[in-house]
Amino acid sequence: MSTILDAELADCVRNNAVTELHIVQQQNKKFIVEVLLTWKDGPTTLITQRKEIREWASVDRLIAHIQENYGVIPLITVVPFVPPLLFQN
């Protein structure tokens, strides 16, 4: 898994290196941020200084964080959690 710190992400946004930002809802109902960077293949996950995945309990607070710290992002996508289908035999 490719990761990025908050300050690095802000720098990438300023340098127009972020093509997409995905807000992904996890199974625990919390939200994480994954970004696509121009110079890297695949998604990059936002982490804390302690190298843990950064999570938000509220999408409203996450959006406020994005607006305050990153400014304009070209494309933001919200990906809700979809539980796996349970097959009955």
The full set of domain ranges for the chain reads: 2-79
Q: Rounded to two decimals, what is the model's pTM?
A: 0.86
Going residue by residue through the chain, which has 89 residues, state the pLDDT in tens, using 9 for 90 and above.
Answer: 899 999 999 999 999 999 999 999 999 999 999 999 999 999 999 999 999 999 999 999 999 999 999 988 878 888 888 777 655 55
Residue 32's pLDDT is what?
Answer: 96
Residue 84's pLDDT is what?
Answer: 75
Q: What are the residues whose beta carbons fall under 8 Å from the beta carbon of 1, sequence distance 6 or more?
A: 45
CATH number at 2-79: 3.30.720.210
Which helix (H) or strand (E) element contains residue 77? strand 76-79
Q: Where are the alpha helices (DSSP H) in 1-89?
A: 6-14, 59-69
